[in-house]
Amino acid sequence: MQATALMFEVARPADDAFDRVVREREEQLLRIACRILGNWADAEEVVQDAFVRLHRHGVNFPSEIVLGSWLYRVTVNLCIDRTRRAHPAEQLGEIRAPDPSAEADLLRDERKRLLMAALTTLPAKERAAVVLREIEGLATADVAAILGSSEVTVRTQISRALVRLRGVLEKGRL
């Protein structure tokens, strides 16, 4: 029993560090996962899985940046795996453009909703690149490191995705 108690004592600082990481990162990871997956329920599950993996791995990283990069990579990979298994077209259905007579705010909200829906129709890696670079504002080099591709590829993916998104928004339907 003494040995067990000692183990708990040793584990406590690590758990504190882990709790701190969860508190600091959960919001951003949830946002990223939701933008990639298109709904909060799936995003919650993915973020939970990412944190459980972090707990198993341990929070001993050389720096906060490395830790952040590791968490982004795990979360994005989990999201990509999940989008490959899911069928976004079945989940989303058809989203139509708002009524032209609606007010400006409503129109903007509708456009955002349409944009989010259009995001989910992009290929998984393009979607992740857009979310990380354009929505979360990460540097292209960081996005490339997270996705395991080159900066040129990320730039190409983003520009291609933006053209597609613009097309969807101009047409006003998916």
The site for another protein (CB under 8 A) is made up of 3-4, 7-8, 11, 15, 18-19, 22-23, 26-27, 30-31, 34-35, 40, 43-44, 47-48, 51-52, 55-56, 108, 111-112, 115-116, 130, 134-137, 162, 165-166, 169-170
Query: For residues 73 and 111, which CB has a smaller minimum distance to another protein in the complex?
Result: 111
Residue pair 21/59 in contact (Cβ under 8 Å)? The answer is: yes
User: Which residue, 56 or 87, is less far from another protein as judged by CB?
Assistant: 56
**Dist CA 6 CA 9 (whole Å):** 5
Least gap, CB of 125 to another protein (angstroms)? 17
For 135, other C-beta atoms within 10 Å of its C-beta total 14
Least distance to another protein from the beta carbon of 130, Å?
Answer: 8
Structure tokens at 125: 């890696």
As measured in angstroms, the least distance from the Cβ of 62 to another protein is 23
State how far the Cα of 130 lies from the Cα of 162, in Å rounded to an integer: 8
Q: How far is the CB of 155 from another protein (least distance, A)?
A: 14
Nearer to another protein, 62 or 137 (CB): 137
- Residue 118 sits at φ, ψ, to 5 deg, of -65, -35
Residue whose tokens read 């906060």? 64
Joined tokens for residue 20: 């701190």
